[in-house]
Structure 1
Amino acid sequence: MTRFACVVLVDPRGWVLLQERDEHARIAPERWSYSGGHVEPGESDLDAAVRELAEETGIEVAAADLRLHGHFDLFHPETRSQDTIAFFTAPTELTDDDVVLGEGRQIVFVDPEVARGLPLSDLAATTLPAFLDSDLYAELSRRPA
């Protein structure tokens, strides 16, 4: 079992930061997912989330600003492994112009209604709709639940 950590930032419009993975991605190529990746040996899920977000987007967040939405178990058919993903989130005032593409085809803030219709990774397809319907998302996006 491999541990992963991912981050979803929510902007003032309620749009969520998603990554369109390119054809070279080992997991979920050509699909939309979250910024994130492997938790290194000896690294906490939270530290991995901070590191991966910075590596993939150039965005640096303080660990104290991230909130854990949950841990999710997922089978990745590409690697034939049952993995655990720590899903973190935070509000942000950043825009697409603040994102430095470090991996994938593009990383942009996406309208949640548009996001629901995108070709999503298995992880995002499983977790994004529930997150968008959650009290935590309503709080972060400043919208009523």
Structure 2
Amino acid sequence: MTEGVGLTDRWAARVLLLDPAGRVLLLHGCDPARPSHQYWFTVGGGLEPGETLVEAAIRETFEETGLRVAAADLEGPVRSDVVRFPFDGQWYTQEQSFFVVRTLAFEVDLTHLGEYEIGSIDIGRWWSIDELTATSERYYPEDLVALLREVG
């Protein structure tokens, strides 16, 4: 944490969308305050006021991919943790829970993104564990390969 900089608390639902081949769908984006800081990340985001983790996972999956899922489609949470990160000039402490959704591979539809996401998310891609292990590209969570092996 940066000395003297406050942290904004945030709660988030993250979704590991897995296809029958075991590939995970990741979104590509950047931090608007640091456009050169590009990375891949799991579907999901912050809870809206009064929203449950499951409701947020369902909403975020649709907004970020166009895929409609139901509560019964969600496995988990399969992991919960706390991360700290900067985004758009602000530091966050995020309590996040990961769910798994098993689905057929599909083409990502980014037309439902919120205004704040439009400038920071540009594409989606299905990744195998081997591709994640071999890539030099940045992705989050950093231990995604281990998490994918755990959930199979």
**TM-score bracket for this pair, using the shorter chain length:** 0.7 to 0.9
Code of the aligned partner of 1:125: E
The match for 1:65 is: 73
Query: How many residue pairs were aligned?
Result: 130
Per the alignment, do residues 6 and 25 of structure 1 end up closer, same or farther by CA in structure 2, a change over 3 Å counting?
farther
Distance 1:25 1:60 in 2: 31
Which of these residues, 47, 50, 58, is aligned with residue 58 of structure 2? 50
2 CA distance for matches of 1:57 and 1:86?
19
Q: Percent identity?
A: 32
- 2:32 aligns with one of 7, 24, 27: 24
Shift of the 56–25 alpha-carbon distance from structure 1 to 2, 3 Å rule, reads farther
1:87 aligns with 2:98: yes
1:77 aligned residue = 86
Would you say 1:109 and 2:117 are equivalent positions? no
Structure label with greater radius of gyration: 2
CA–CA distance in 1 between the matches of 2:149 and 2:105?
A: 22
Q: How does 1:34-45 map to 2 (within 5 A)?
A: 34-45=42-53
- Quote how far apart the aligned CAs of 1:133 are: 2.1
Amino acid at match of 2:132: A
- Using the size of structure 2 for normalisation, the TM-score is 0.76
Give the residue type in structure 2 aligned to 1:92.
T
Secondary structure of 1:125's partner? coil
Q: Which residue of 2 aligns with 1:142?
A: none
Question: 1:81 Cα shift?
Answer: 2.6
Equivalent residue for 2:6? none
1:2 to 4, 10, 24: 10
Give the whole-Å Cα distance in 1 for the aligned partners of 2:82 and 2:31.
Answer: 24
Give the number of the structure whose residues are more often helix, by fraction: 1
2:109 aligns with 100
Name the SS for the 1:133 alignment partner: helix
Q: CA RMSD for the aligned pairs? A: 2.1
Q: Which has more strand, going by share of residues?
A: 2
Q: Distance in 1 between matches of 2:28 and 2:49?
A: 27
CA distance in 2, matches of 1:25, 1:43: 28
1:125 aligned to 2:142? yes
Relative to the length of structure 1, the TM-score reads 0.80
